Structure 1
Amino acid sequence: MKSIQVLLADPHPLIRAGLRLLLTQMRGVTVQAEVGTGTELLEQLTARRPDVLITEMNVPGAAAIEVARRIARHLPGVRVLLLSTQIDSAQVQSALKAGVLGFVSKAGDPAELEIALRAVTNGNPYLSPHFARFAIDRRRSRQDVHSVRLPTRQREVLQMLGRGKTTKEIASLLGLSVKTVETHRARLMQALDLNNINALLHYAVRHEVEDGTAV
């Protein structure tokens, strides 16, 4: 089994040391490097191309949201897992749109880090309960304005994405070609005003899809 290659970014050496210790105790996880500045982070991303970047919200010289945007453009194979103690609803939404796939609260249980890491490695979104409530609150406040009627096939694709199915699995289950499923994904992102596939995955997991209406 291929080891999960992790790049760790946090401005505080003591926190990095603790995170490294946790990560090295996980089966099949390798910490490639740890960095404390934005310059180091961008250099190591390009040089090492890790499977997952685990980063603090604000590394000096490279805010996590901007780094996620760069990764989405230039290193789409790298997953971003964000660690933070304080983050508000607007930041969560901005991070999702930028391509961040996972959020873990530093106030959470250490075991949660491994759950989140393995989820994002497999391309599945993960939000700590502390951060998930922001998505729920946003949904409740906007559902009347942003309810969207979806065609049956797009709704089926969205449901399967929410269940963690890959594009190939969805194509097989629905009797479609992979290209057709990709087309449905693109139309879903347009209909739901989402900027990338990571944001669509978060939407699929966090929102119910019932009676042809996505809210």
Structure 2
Amino acid sequence: MPTQQNPQSRDHSPSAERPLLIYLHGFLSSPQSYKCQVLKQWLQESRPDVIFYAPLISPYPAQAAMTLGKMLEDFRSNHRGPIGLVGSSMGGFWSTWLAEQHRLPAVIINPAVKPSRFMPGYLGQDLKPYSGEMQTYRLQPADVDNMRQLEAAIPGELSGRYWLLAQRGDETLDCREAEDFYRGQRQTVEEGGDHSFQGFARYTEALVDFLFPNN
């Protein structure tokens, strides 16, 4: 599993008390995605105290849930510092799913609120990651069922602490769904833009301050 750093190797050192930022990428994307790399570089230059971790997430919901769930359990058991999540598109769903289980703060960018709605459109196709990895995926109806079960596990009243970043020009997802789903949470909704969230670099410092206000 490719990562940007391996914070677990530091569990028993002073760095385990540093903030840990976990970035979760979108559907068929990877840790090499633009926003992930922008955030990683900014942290290296401006907040080297923050540990950065970006796992490669399977497009298969059950496998992704198992891997990400174990990842967070391990971090909660071994990492002594604060933990924050950043998720884009499908990664926004996974960030919410994890934040609700562990009551963590999360910044969600043009998130997929109900991924099971778009997944049927991918059934029966050979799916290749947008980022160029040499691998092919094929979703089955059971994957859609698994995603619906995961969606149902998120309560109607959110217990995490969220900041929604969305652009109305998103050509993939309707940001009005996200505005409604995260009602009562901090929201920044811009006119124009697109699904990639144009100008993401403007928010790197602010999102880190949101996740780790005391660090």
Answer 1 or 2: which has greater helix percent.
1
Greater relative CO (CA pairs within 8 A, separation 6+): 2
TM norm. shorter chain > 0.5: no
| TM superposition score normalised by structure 2 | 0.43
Answer 1 or 2: which has greater strand percent.
1
